[in-house]
Amino acid sequence: MTVFAAPAAGGGSDVRPADLEGHLLVVEPLEYVASIPTSMGDKDAVRVTIHDITDTATYEDVLWFPKVLVGSLKGRVGQKVLAVLGKGTAKPGQSAPWILVDATTDNDCVQAATTYLDAIAGNQFADPEVEQLAADSGNPALAAALGKLGARK
């Protein structure tokens, strides 16, 4: 596995916990962010990359605000958390909190997550056609630089 990654498209992903309920996830907390101003006052959040193993999708640069999720992820910055997203028990007068249910002891979950992460890591460096890159980027200088690096013509 390589240490390099391709640049991400800007703006981050817009995925909510409700979109992922019951899904097997690998959540990579990138940073804990304290006191973000929101319409409901200042809230703590955690910035994450989410690998949805169930739907084979990855969401980058997601800010999650649910208090229990923030609490369970802020101490895991730089790690990969394997869990199923679910709902906990609601307190009287409140909604049930979003929780991460540990999946690290389920061999099938570990294997599925490992297979998915290996697959996306293996696709980081494709062997693209220079002409296609130039057409896609509209940047001949990029295509020329790629040609010098050994991309096929």
Strand order across the beta sheet in which 57-64 lies: 57-64, 41-52, 24-38, 81-87, 98-102
Beta bridge pairs of residue 86: 99
Tokens of residue 127, six digits? 């062997």
CA distances from 102 to 67, 117, 149 (A): 17, 18, 44
**What residues contact 8, with CB distance under 8 A and at least 6 apart?**
60, 61
**97 and 48 fall within a common domain:** yes
**58 and 22 fall within a common domain:** yes
Which residue segment(s) compose the domain that 142 sits in? 126-153
Mean pLDDT in the chain? 84
**36 and 58 fall within a common domain:** yes
| Cα–Cα distance, 139 to 134 (Å, whole number) | 6
Query: Of the ranges 105-109, 128-132, 136-140, 141-145, which one carries the lowest mean pLDDT score?
Result: 128-132
pTM of this structure: 0.73
Q: What is the pLDDT of residue 70?
A: 96
Banded model confidence at residue 139, pLDDT cuts 50, 70, 90: low
Banded model confidence at residue 121, pLDDT cuts 50, 70, 90: confident
Q: State the angle between helix axes of 130-137 and 140-148 in degrees (0 to 180), rounded to the nearest 10.
A: 150
**150 and 85 fall within a common domain:** no
**112 and 143 fall within a common domain:** no
The total number of structural domains that make up the chain: 2
